[in-house]
């Protein structure tokens, strides 16, 4: 399928180059002003010299200035990182850990100081009660989850599936979910289940089933065998037939049409059970692969209902345990109760909005204004610079296409902290009004899932324009979102928003009082990288409203464009869309900040060393190369780097030929 909604989110990153000695890191010219542009008014706070000098000392700690920056800039700028920090730690991961720690401090303080003003706010009361129930966890008791599920009459597979769907579970049999469609609309989507995912029936899941059924269960081995056979049958039905292409097969249907096409299920009933509303026959939804759905439903209607029920229970338990940061699946063997950190990490996933509100109110709020002033200023400069570059049209693109791309980049928004825009405290109080929190962790966990997915269903069907405007001004992260997607700045493709998480908004990556070389060294590169994701080879096809277009079909007809892509696409393993964002984002940041040769001479090295911080200690993941590869590759592409570090032609950081892109 072309429409990979879930993948329409990617991540951020950057690059670097060469040098001689650390004493050459200049500081003298940096502290005249922390203004962004000459046009800024005089209302800005003076930059703190002390803060900037302290930060430069920190940068020096990570460097190995005796190494040759022209050979391997990563080794030069980050060579000492590992002797200071543990394996797996990067600037971003350390920043994220600091945020977790602040939540722990907040909750522990509130638990011990019952007279804090926060106690008068229901949102804090609920967070605290949740936190408390998590901290009080003993040994995992998975059957507690099953006991909490509402009882429904009969045991038809589709009824149980719909009930589990209310908690966001939809991985087997038939998948019914609410999914974002474009920048201002969700849709109900019906499709065959994901047959790549199987159950692995663990002893703890089996025991939970056994207790829940009062022992009325085949042996673990027998049950595993029955489940395997079921999975095999379902897989054959859900799998596309041989020779079918992976063309887009999702289409729009009205509920009435769907009912006619797939009469063996009462869709009105199922949707009502899962989404809490009676949808009219004219209601539009998306469905994929009706023939497979027809086969699946027909088989399931005739299969052993008891087995289907047991399988559903087992799958939902597995799903709950696999949700990111479920404190019950903590891998430490000595684990017996929720640790403060694991509870906070769990709550940041499960109670995303309420947790962000608390962070804003207790920590971030006081610096927001100063930050936004600086960040929006740099962002506007970058956009202006990029528009200038794009209008030169060096690739010779069709003018209509060029305008469309320009519109997309100009239309990008930034959301610092990823909160809804322009809402009052009352908005949050109303949000949590129907969220129930008691003393039992299992009940709390399920109720918070219910709260999130009920809300999503309501958002999908609402005609309230004001509600839409608010809820589409940020990315309301769900409990399933993996850390590697939300822990760093990222380009949120469907909404065309660059999300700057709280973890980024602190030292060592960012500080509103940074001198320009430090400020642009990371911030401009990060924003540039995310901006360029909006037109990388992967995301270029979505317009500013998140609607799929044919832009890449047009682009590949252009020889210059193909040549530029191929130059960067130099091996099988290359993560091309990340490389494009790295190269073009770094180019854009340089063009914005380093136009002046004097600036390069005085502050260039500091700028590049600050740029390196993001990459120090960064491991590769499914989307990104290692920090060292990314940093060196990107900076080797920049002649300014070679100039600043006096790299001889032909050294690794000053190659004879370079690629260029946007
Ligand atoms: C700038 O920094 C230098 C030391 O690096 C210091 O002597 C000087 O006073 C600073 N100037 C201002 C205006 O802060
Ligand atoms: C978003 O999708 C909905 C449903 O298909 C459509 O009605 C709406 O026009 C789309 N929005 C934009 C901006 O294209
Ligand atoms: C899931 O189970 C089916 C049927 O047993 C099997 O063919 C498939 O390879 C399994 N998939 C994975 C990812 O294990
Ligand atoms: C589909 O292809 C696989 C291997 O390519 C083959 O083993 C199988 O028999 C084919 N199935 C059908 C229904 O043609
Ligand atoms: C389908 O379910 C709806 C809502 O539960 C009910 O009103 C309707 O009578 C059912 N239709 C059939 C054909 O059973
Ligand atoms: C640019 O492309 C559009 C749509 O593909 C086409 O209608 C238009 O004629 C083209 N313009 C030029 C100048 O080639
Ligand atoms: C939101 O607030 C900002 C700053 O206060 C203001 O510029 C903007 O117009 C507001 N947007 C809406 C939609 O009210
Ligand atoms: C990049 O190169 C690989 C082969 O090395 C190729 O499979 C892939 O299609 C190329 N990507 C693009 C966008 O050209
Ligand atoms: Zn990226």
At 19 the pLDDT is 27
Residue nearest to atom 2 of ligand 5 (CA): 269
Q: Comparing 217-231, 260-274, 532-546, which segment has the lowest mean pLDDT?
A: 532-546
At 575 the pLDDT is 87
| Ligand 2 site-directed mutation target among 5, 181, 185, 462, most atoms within 8 Å of CB | 185
Distance 260 CA to ligand 5 centre (A): 14
Please give the Cα distance from 624 to 194 (Å, whole number): 26
pTM score > 0.85 for this model? yes
At 26 the pLDDT is 47
At 337 the pLDDT is 56
CATH topology of domain 142-241+248-322: Neutral endopeptidase; domain 2 (1.10.1380)
Q: Where are the alpha helices (DSSP H) in 36-90?
A: 49-62, 73-78, 81-84
At 248 the pLDDT is 65
Atom of ligand 7 nearest to the CA of 422: 1
More confident residue, 23 or 148: 148
pLDDT tens digits, one per residue of 281-324: 999 999 999 999 999 999 999 999 999 999 999 999 999 999 99
Q: Comparing 31-40, 126-135, 235-244, which segment has the lowest mean pLDDT?
A: 31-40
Report residues whose beta carbon is within 6 angstroms of any ligand 1 atom.
Answer: 27-28, 31, 49
Spell out the SS3 assignment of 514-552: CCHHHHHHHHHHHHHHHHHHCCCCCCCCECCCCCECCHH
Percent of the chain with pLDDT over 90: 81
Query: Residue 251: helix, strand or coil by DSSP?
Result: strand
The secondary structure of 551-605 as a DSSP string is HHHHHTT-HHHHHHHHHH--STT--HHHHHHHHHHHHHHHHHH--SHHHHHHHHH
At 41 the pLDDT is 40
**Residue 162: both structure tokens together:** 């719909």
**Strands 284-288 vs 185-192: parallel, antiparallel or unpaired:** parallel
**Strands 497-500 vs 413-416: parallel, antiparallel or unpaired:** parallel
At 334 the pLDDT is 53
Distance 569 CA to ligand 9 centre (A): 16
pLDDT at 373 over 80: yes
Q: Comparing 90-99, 101-110, 197-206, 326-335, which segment has the lowest mean pLDDT?
A: 326-335
At 245 the pLDDT is 62
14-28, 72-86, 194-208: which has the highest mean pLDDT? 72-86
Spell out the SS3 assignment of 256-300: HHHHHHCCCCCHHHHHHHHHCCCCCCCCEEEEECHHHHHHHHHHH
At 49 the pLDDT is 87
Computed over every residue of the chain, the mean pLDDT equals 90
Q: Which residue is listed with tokens 């969700």?
A: 186
Question: 232: Cβ below 6 Å to ligand 3?
Answer: yes
pLDDT tens digits, one per residue of 593-633: 988 888 888 899 999 999 999 999 999 888 888 999 999 99
Averaged pLDDT, 271-277: 97
Are the CB atoms for 630 and 582 separated by under 8 Å? Answer: yes
pLDDT tens digits, one per residue of 378-418: 999 999 999 999 999 999 999 999 999 999 999 999 999 99
Atom of ligand 3 nearest to the CA of 231: 4
Question: 424: Cβ below 6 Å to ligand 7?
Answer: no
Nearest ligand by distance to the CA of 460: 2
More confident residue, 138 or 255: 255
At 251 the pLDDT is 95
Distance 37 CA to ligand 5 centre (A): 65
pLDDT classification of 15: cutoffs 50, 70, 90: very low
Are the CB atoms for 517 and 603 separated by under 8 Å? Answer: yes
Domain ranges of the chain: 142-241+248-322
Single out the residue of 651, 621, 528 nearest to residue 15, CA to CA: 528
Nearest ligand by distance to the CA of 226: 3
pLDDT at 33 over 60: no
Percent of the chain with pLDDT over 70: 91
At 154 the pLDDT is 77
Averaged pLDDT, 444-456: 98
Q: Which residue is listed with tokens 């089996």?
A: 206
Averaged pLDDT, 442-456: 98
Q: Which residue is listed with tokens 């670097």?
A: 16
| Ligand 1 site-directed mutation target among 49, 516, 602, most atoms within 8 Å of CB | 49
pLDDT at 43 over 70: no
Averaged pLDDT, 505-511: 95
Question: 224: Cβ below 6 Å to ligand 3?
Answer: no
pLDDT tens digits, one per residue of 144-156: 999 999 988 778 9
Report residues whose beta carbon is within 6 angstroms of any ligand 6 atom.
Answer: 398-400, 554
Nearest ligand by distance to the CA of 577: 9
Q: Comparing 25-29, 377-381, 402-406, 481-485, which segment has the lowest mean pLDDT?
A: 25-29
Nearest ligand by distance to the CA of 525: 9
Are the CB atoms for 449 and 479 separated by under 8 Å? Answer: yes
Averaged pLDDT, 97-118: 96
Query: Residue 338: helix, strand or coil by DSSP?
Result: coil
More confident residue, 10 or 418: 418
Distance 381 CA to ligand 4 centre (A): 57
């Amino acid at each position: 399928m072309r429409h990979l909604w879930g993948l329409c989110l990617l991540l951020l990153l950057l690059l670097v180059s060469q040098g001689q000695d650390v004493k050459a890191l200049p500081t003298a010219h940096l502290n005249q002003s922390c203004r962004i542009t000459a046009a800024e008014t005089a209302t800005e706070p003076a930059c703190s010299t002390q803060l900037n000098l302290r930060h430069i000392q920190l940068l020096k700690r990570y460097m190995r200035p005796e190494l040759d920056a022209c050979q391997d800039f990563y080794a030069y700028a980050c060579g000492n990182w590992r002797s200071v920090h543990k394996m797996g730690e990067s600037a971003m991961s350390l920043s994220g850990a600091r945020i977790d720690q602040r939540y722990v401090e907040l909750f522990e303080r509130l638990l011990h100081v019952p007279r804090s003003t926060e106690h008068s706010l229901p949102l804090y009361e609920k967070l605290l009660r949740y936190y408390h129930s998590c901290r009080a966890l003993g040994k995992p008791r998975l059957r507690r989850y099953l006991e909490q599920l509402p009882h429904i009459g009969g045991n038809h597979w589709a009824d149980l599936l719909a009930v589990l769907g209310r908690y966001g579970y939809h991985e087997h049999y038939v998948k019914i979910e609410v999914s974002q469609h474009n920048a201002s609309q969700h849709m109900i989507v019906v499709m065959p289940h994901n047959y790549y995912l199987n159950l692995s029936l663990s002893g703890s899941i089996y025991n939970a089933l056994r207790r829940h059924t009062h022992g009325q269960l085949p042996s673990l081995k027998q049950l595993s065998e029955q489940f395997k056979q079921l999975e095999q049958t379902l897989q054959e039905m859900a799998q596309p037939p041989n020779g079918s292409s992976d063309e887009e097969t999702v289409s729009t249907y009205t509920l009435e049409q769907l009912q006619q096409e797939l009469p063996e299920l009462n869709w009105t009933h199922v949707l009502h059970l899962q989404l809490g509303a009676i949808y009219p026959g004219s209601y539009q939804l998306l469905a994929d692969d009706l023939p497979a759905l027809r086969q699946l439903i027909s088989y399931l209607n005739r299969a052993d209902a008891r087995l289907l029920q047991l399988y559903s229970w087992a799958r939902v338990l597995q799903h709950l345990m696999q949700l990111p940061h479920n404190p019950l699946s903590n891998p430490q063997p000595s684990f017996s109760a929720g640790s403060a950190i694991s509870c906070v990490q769990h709550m940041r996933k499960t109670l995303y909005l309420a947790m962000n509100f608390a962070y804003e109110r207790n920590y971030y709020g006081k610096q927001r204004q100063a930050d936004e002033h600086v960040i929006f200023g740099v962002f506007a400069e970058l956009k202006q610079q990029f528009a200038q570059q794009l209008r030169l049209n060096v690739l010779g693109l069709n003018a209509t296409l060029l305008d469309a791309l320009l519109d997309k980049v100009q239309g990008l928004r930034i959301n610092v902290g990823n909160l809804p825009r322009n809402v009052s405290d009352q908005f949050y109080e109303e949000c949590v009004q129907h969220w129930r929190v008691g003393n039992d962790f299992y009940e709390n966990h399920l109720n918070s899932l219910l709260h999130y997915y009920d809300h999503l269903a309501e958002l999908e069907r609402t005609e309230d324009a004001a509600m839409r405007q608010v809820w589409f001004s940020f990315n309301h992260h769900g409990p399933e979102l993996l850390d590697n997607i939300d822990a760093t700045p990222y380009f949120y493709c469907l909404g065309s928003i660059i999300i700057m998480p709280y973890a980024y908004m602190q030292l060592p990556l960012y500080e509103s009082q940074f001198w320009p070389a430090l400020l642009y060294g990371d911030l401009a590169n990060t924003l540039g990288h995310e901006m360029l994701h909006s037109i990388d080879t992967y995301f270029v096809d979505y317009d500013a409203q998140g609607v799929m277009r044919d832009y890449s079909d047009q682009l590949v007809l252009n020889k210059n464009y193909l040549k530029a892509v191929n130059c960067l696409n130099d091996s099988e393993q290359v993560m091309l869309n990340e490389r494009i964002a790295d190269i073009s984002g770094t180019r854009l940041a340089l063009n914005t900040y380093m136009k002046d040769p004097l600036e390069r001479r005085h502050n260039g090295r500091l700028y590049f060393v600050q740029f390196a911080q993001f990459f120090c200690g960064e491991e590769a993941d499914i989307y990104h190369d290692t920090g060292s590869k990314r940093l060196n590759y990107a900076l080797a592409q920049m002649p300014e780097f070679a100039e600043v570090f006096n790299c001889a032609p032909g050294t690794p950081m000053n190659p004879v030929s370079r690629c260029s892109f946007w």
